[in-house]
Amino acid sequence: MAPSRCDKRFLSNWLKAFMVSPGVLFPAAYLMLYLLLSLFLDTGFKEEICRAYGNASGNSRHLSIGSVKAGFDLCSITLQDIESGPAYAAENNRTHSIHALKIRLCGIGTFLSGGSSRELSARAASEKILDEESRDQ
């Protein structure tokens, strides 16, 4: 039995209503924000952390971060494959490696709009990395 025209219209109207329902729109908007934030964290914020780390160490050390990922609650970030070493060739400074480091940061959702919270968060992340390095010694 072939579906009638009324059944096709009902199905298309139902799908349209489903797509614009709050139960679909809010998770879709959150997922879009999370994906954009993850993309930004892995490019722009990673460089800000490296710059803040250099300033905190008096430009005597350099930092390399493999990836930065936001937590699903947007209240933490995870830095993976962190390597730091002397900025200049020196025998007394050794390199440090940290596989993964989770840092609690509030206000990650506002990173895309810019502002001073991003700078403060980068400084906090670099200080946390320095603390982890001093614990390893």
Taking the domains of the chain in order of start, what are their residue ranges?
Answer: 24-136
pLDDT in tens, 71-109: 888 888 899 999 988 877 655 567 888 899 998 887 776
The pLDDT value recorded for residue 80 is 92
Extract long-range pairs of 98-102: CB within 8 Å, 24+ residues apart.
98/129, 98/132, 98/133, 101/128, 101/129, 101/132, 102/71, 102/76, 102/77, 102/78
pTM of the model: 0.74
Q: How far apart are the first and last CA of the chain?
A: 76
pLDDT in tens, 25-58: 899 988 998 888 888 888 888 888 999 998 988 8
24-136 has which CATH code? 3.30.160
Residue spans of alpha helices (H) in the chain: 5-19, 22-40, 46-56, 116-136
